[in-house]
Amino acid sequence: MLVLIRVQLFGREKLSLLLMFSPWCVFSTKKFIFAPLMAIEKITIEQFLQLRGRYPVLDVRSPGEYNHAHIPGAYSLPLFTDEERKVVGTIYKQVNKEAAIKKGLEYFGPKMVNMIDIAEKIMEEYNISTEPKEKAVIVHCWRGGMRSAGVAWLLGLYGFKVYTIVGGYKYFRRWCIAQFEKEYSFKVIGGYTGSGKTAILNELKQRGSKIIDLEAIARHKGSAFGNLQRGTQPTQEMFENILALELACVEKDITWIEDESQRIGDVNIPAPLHKSIQNCPLYFLEIPFEKRLQYIIDGYGKFEKEALAEAIIRIKKRLGGLETKTALAFLEEDDLHNCFGILLKYYDKQYLKCLRQKDEQFKPVKKIVCEDTDAIVNTRAMQKEQAFTEIKVN
């Protein structure tokens, strides 16, 4: 099968590019040049996970699809714009497959050289910090169809070793969802707001323990002030993609995780995973109210009044009209102690309610009395309690 496409090469006169679906490609410039087609290998999701850190992953879906959610670490190399994808899809449904392919080739042809240039730049960037320096890429689209096949063919012609994912992003999503159904060996860090649970997670990581930082993945700390300086949260789908890959890294290991409500800002922990966390041992840090209040003041007192006021107003319905008004008045007077004190009492009451439910329905709660919010001291105390508990069990 032969397809003749006209392309523009960086301001030079248009050249005819004769594309032949065979082991050879032919470029018509002043003379014919023949180049061998590199092998294109199809891989399963399991094989992809083994190769993922070795080669760059090229997502050839449209920018809109990629921005909504993608395989973490993948580069966007769209075959079609969002509008072009819509046009091709409409032709496929309303006319036929052949007409859609012709329209797709019409869009694809002028982009070929630029796509190769982008792929080379990605490869150069990726090879700076990875070994071995091999000219290989992993390509995928939504379901391993014509878009990934077309780009894989182009890069193969140019000399790349190309892997394509069977089932594409669709199969990756299936794999992600399956990770949330598994059982994990979690040790859960609990404690009222202001206990420094995230600092303890980081300390545990420094000591070589496996952790899952749900708040870091969600880009939100869970409370009214949770999104301050955290940037835009990922979509629910993107949150799940990142979380699934982290879970795969700790599947059989003891892993520390923070006790969270199912909702973290605008994203939700998948229900099966959240239930699994609830059934794991909880190490509850019992820290005095005033120490936790000072911890919160130190952490959030630096933010502008306007941002803090907006955060308080967001929970007005739950906090209550009178308490909200009082908290805002204290904030206006720069009285952070009383302002944050109102919020902390509210969160303590909510957490205590959840804690009682857990104590009655799910997991054993191991309380650890701490004098302060010192992450190093409290990490030692928690690990000591963990070791003692395991000795008793054995």
Residue 86 identity = K
Q: Which amino acid is at 188?
A: V
Task: Give the pair of three-digit tokens for residue 186.
Answer: 């979690």
Closest by CA to 85, choosing from 107, 59, 102, 118, is 107
Q: Which two tokens stand for residue 66?
A: 């990629």
Is 213 in contact with 251 (CB distance < 8 Å)? no
What string of DSSP letters covers 109-164? GGGHHHHHHHHHHHHHHHHTS-SS---EEEEE-SSSSHHHHHHHHHHHHHT-EEEE
How many whole angstroms separate alpha carbon 241 and alpha carbon 172? 9
Take residue 371 and report the two structure tokens written for it: 């004098």
CA distance 141 to 339: 51
Contact yes or no for 137/143 (Cβ under 8 A): no
Is position 370 annotated as part of the catalytic site? no
SS3 state at 262: coil
Which amino acid does the sequence have at 135? K
CA dist 191 and 204 (Å) reads: 16
Q: Which one from 141, 176, 339, 370 is the annotated catalytic residue? A: 141
Residues annotated catalytic, as ranges: 141
